Amino acid sequence: MTAAGQQTAVNVVGEAARRRSFAVISHPDAGKSTLTEALALHARVISEAGAVHGKAGRRGVVSDWLAMEQARGISITSAALQFSYGDAVINMLDTPGHADFSEDTYRVLSAVDSAVMLLDAAKGLEPQTLKLFDVCRHRGIPVITFINKWDRPGREALELCDELVERIGLQPMPLTWPVGEAGQFRGVRDCLDGTFVRYARTVGGATAAAEERLTSDRAHAEVGADWLRAEEEADLLVASGGDFDPAPFFAATATPVLFGSAVLNFGVRHLLDVLVELAPRPTPRQDADGEPRRLEAPFSAFVFKVQTGMDPAHRDQIAFARVCSGVFERGMVVTNATTGRPFATKYAQQMFGQQRSTLDTAYPGDVVGLVNATALRVGDTLYSGKPPVRFPGLPSFAPAHFAVARPADLGRAKQFRKGVEQLGSEGVVQVLRSDRRGDAAPVLAAVGPMQFEVAAHRLETEFGARAALERLPYTVARHLDDPAQRTLVDTGRRSEVLTRADGTDLALFIDQHALGVMRRLHPELALGSLVAGAD
């Protein structure tokens, strides 16, 4: 390697070490989007935090930019926010909490190095949180736990930590501990140095909360019983194996735990500091052959999300790509490993929710927004140089809800077809076709029924094509391994075979009983799961 090449490699590795790429995951209504914005507030990239519904005339959270998100106060699509904090570059991905959009969250988790698991102090581990954690465990993603809403009545801190051990097998390692029971939040004990961090409220939680750090003796004198209880509980957990150790954290068998209130901005700066100091840096990613791709290797990235309509004025399509190796430079021509065709990166953006700015360079760990990326699909690998590289594709979840879609106005059929194709390429829904119905009446397949609402809303608002949806009775989908067996399943009564846009044949059944009957009638039938753990 030449001296210039060695210097470039050093720069890439050094820049990668500055990156922290993480997702925020939670059950709906745990305060995820509020925390996302509070982190941006503490990094001083926004000056004032808005409530989810834009109360008191303030704008909504920066990561919830779809009209449906702002109307309902929930996240229904993932969002990327990149900003600097000190010497670190933060790539933060806000994810949908609702189970109907878990496929989008799964894709996001493929693009990060760690996750912040947000728990409601009153509810603890909820069903969707458990499912998302299972994905993290499957992928070996280290998890930091932030117990939110401590300003409201809730459960005991020790009880919530015990639940982490009993229900998901994660050893809690407290980094902060609440002073005052849930609903009587007075601050936190910093478990690493034993000091008391006391917070001061700001008007509506719109600005960063002021912090005062007190010694243990002063905290005992001013806070009394609440401080003693916090010391005793935190020390009890540490004594039972909860002392912080980075090794089990990186191995995803233990989780640092912090307490706070995102809406009041209490404990948020501490979480941000922990992410910068402790969260894993980008490491070599395995390609489709199982070989680690060195950080300093020529540029490579994979597309984990495609989104249209972020800017209604331009109606452009953006592909979100996670950089895995090398240096990305705006304007470079890369190769799409899926098609073998070149792709020009003239329009590259740094994302901050719906807002964007021109991005000239990016390094491993960064998320790049590629504009006018109509040639890119979720799961595509982009690379420069030789030899070719391809990263593992992102599987589609097994759908459980199906509906025939037709244009309500035949005069808008062209716009309808274009919109359905677009939504399918983004992964908003899966698009299935059958010879029986023809191309004019595609079948939309979804993990959850709310995806149909999003699809119908976007068809009408972005493409001016109102859709009429007719629900189908199928609830179980399997992969038809042998196309020659299509006629065995495609009876049109209790089962049917439809073809997905990627050419996959899906055998659909009205319920598990119908699937069982089919297997007994035709034991030779070759059916497989669509993705492990998803159906």
Which residues make up each annotated binding site? Answer: 94-98
User: How many whole angstroms separate alpha carbon 426 and alpha carbon 318?
Assistant: 10
Q: Can you say whether residue 265 is alpha, beta or left, with left for phi > 0 and alpha for psi between -120 and 50 degrees?
A: left
Residue 451 carries which side chain, given as an amino acid letter?
Q
3-state secondary structure of 443: strand
Structure tokens at 179: 């002073």
**Which value, to the nearest 10 degrees, does the dihedral of the CA atoms of residues 438, 451, 315, 378 take?**
-80
User: How many whole angstroms separate alpha carbon 11 and alpha carbon 360?
Assistant: 16
Q: How many Cα atoms sit within 13 Å of 387 on the Cβ side? A: 3
Q: Estimate the share of the chain in helix, then strand, then coil, as percent rounded to the nearest 5.
A: 30, 30, 40
User: How many whole angstroms separate alpha carbon 475 and alpha carbon 514?
Assistant: 10
> What are the residues facing 210 on neighbouring strands?
200
DSSP 304-321: EEEEE-SSTTT--EEEEE
| Residues placed in the known binding site for GTP | 94-98
Instruction: Name the one residue in this structure whose structure tokens are 């930019």.
Output: 65
Contacts of 82 (CB under 8 A, 6+ apart): 89, 90, 91, 92, 350, 351, 352, 366, 367
3-state secondary structure of 437: coil
Burial class of residue 330 (count of CB atoms within 10 Å of its CB; 0-12, 13-18, 19+): middle
- Cβ atoms of residues 23 and 109 within 8 Å: yes
**Angle (nearest 5°) at CA 139 between 172 and 427:** 120
Give the other-Cβ count within 10 Å of 516's Cβ.
12
Give the other-Cβ count within 10 Å of 167's Cβ.
13
Structure tokens at 475: 């609830």
Residue 128 carries which side chain, given as an amino acid letter?
Q
> What are the residues facing 305 on neighbouring strands?
320
Rg (CA), the chain: 25
- Cβ atoms of residues 384 and 327 within 8 Å: no
3-state secondary structure of 227: helix
Identify the CA nearest to 187 among candidates 165, 219, 217. Answer: 219
